[in-house]
Amino acid sequence: MKDRTNKTISFAHYDAYELDLMTYALDPARGKFGPYIKRLIERDRDGGQAQVVADIPKPAAGGGTKADKASVAGFL
């Protein structure tokens, strides 16, 4: 049996939202990344307020289609 399990998380550099999350999480004021993520998981597990964000489809190149815009209209 292994002593540790590693999980990978990626952040898209072209997505402003994800880039902001990465920048925030990697701020030295929060300590090392791994323990910071573990504290977030612990807070969530212990009943802390967790914000769930639905996956929103990315528009096609050129601004997307009417169907894309309609599917996210409720979020605007």
pLDDT in tens, 7-59: 999 999 999 999 999 999 999 999 999 999 999 999 999 988 655 555 556 65
Segments forming the whole domain that contains residue 28: 10-45
pLDDT of residue 65: 55
pLDDT of residue 1: 84
Spatial contact of 64 and 56, defined as CB atoms under 8 Å apart = no
With respect to residue 16, please indicate whether it lies within any of the assigned structural domains: yes
Dihedral sign of CA atoms 35, 40, 44, 48 in order: positive
55: left (phi over 0), alpha (psi -120 to 50) or beta: beta
Tokens of 3: 């002593």
With respect to residue 19, please indicate whether it lies within any of the assigned structural domains: yes
Pairwise pLDDT comparison (25 vs 63), residue with the higher score = 25
State yes or no: pLDDT of 68 exceeds 80: no
Looking at the 3D structure of the chain, how many domains does it have?
A: 1
**Secondary-structure breakdown of the chain: helix, strand, coil percentages, each rounded to the nearest 5:** 45, 0, 55
